[in-house]
Structure 1
Amino acid sequence: MGAIAVHEFVSLDGVFEDPSWTAPYGFDPEMGDDIGRITRASDAILLGRRTFEMFAPAWSQRTAAEDPGAPFFNDSPKAVVSASLDDAAAESTWHNSRSLGAYDAERIREFAGGFSGGVYVSGSGSLVRALLADGLVGALHLFVYPEVRGTGARLFPEGTAPAKLRLRHQYAYDNGVLHLHYASA
Structure 2
Amino acid sequence: MGVIRVHEFTTVDGVVDAPMWTVDYGFPDDLAASIGGITAPAGGILLGRTTFEMFAPAWSTRTAEDDEGAPFFNDTTKYVVSSTLTDAESVWRNSTTVGGYDTERIRELKADRDLYVSGSATLVRALVADGLVDELHLYVYPLSVGEGIRLFPEGTAQKLSLLGVEALSNGVAHLTYGPA
Q: TM-score, normalised by structure 2?
A: 0.97
Could you tell me which of 93, 116, 122 is aligned with 1:120? 116
- Counterpart of 2:94 in structure 1 is 96
**Could you say what the CA RMSD is over the residues aligned between the two structures, in angstroms?**
0.9
Cα distance in 1, alignment partners of residues 130 and 61 from structure 2? 34
Unaligned runs of 5+ in 1: none
1:80-91 to structure 2, matched below 5 A, reads 80-86=80-86, 89-91=87-89
Question: What secondary structure does 1:42 align onto?
Answer: coil
- Counterpart of 2:13 in structure 1 is 13
Match of 1:132, as an amino acid? V
Could you tell me which of 145, 151, 154 is aligned with 1:155? 151
The runs of 4+ residues in structure 1 deviating greater than 2 Å are none
* Deviations 1:110-168 (CA, angstroms, capped at 9, x unpaired): 112232xx1000000000000000000000000000001101111110122x2221111
Identity across matched positions, percent: 59
- How many residues are matched? 180
Cα distance in 2, alignment partners of residues 75 and 113 from structure 1? 21
Cα distance in 2, alignment partners of residues 148 and 184 from structure 1? 26
Match of 2:109, as an amino acid? F
Match of 2:159, as an amino acid? K
- Counterpart of 1:110 in structure 2 is 108
Question: What secondary structure does 2:109 align onto?
Answer: helix
Cα distance in 2, alignment partners of residues 146 and 127 from structure 1? 25
Question: What secondary structure does 1:131 align onto?
Answer: helix
1:30-109 to structure 2, matched below 5 A, reads 30-86=30-86, 89-109=87-107
Match of 1:38, as an amino acid? I
Unaligned runs of 5+ in 2: none
- Counterpart of 2:163 in structure 1 is 168
- Counterpart of 1:177 in structure 2 is 172
Cα distance in 1, alignment partners of residues 95 and 111 from structure 2? 17
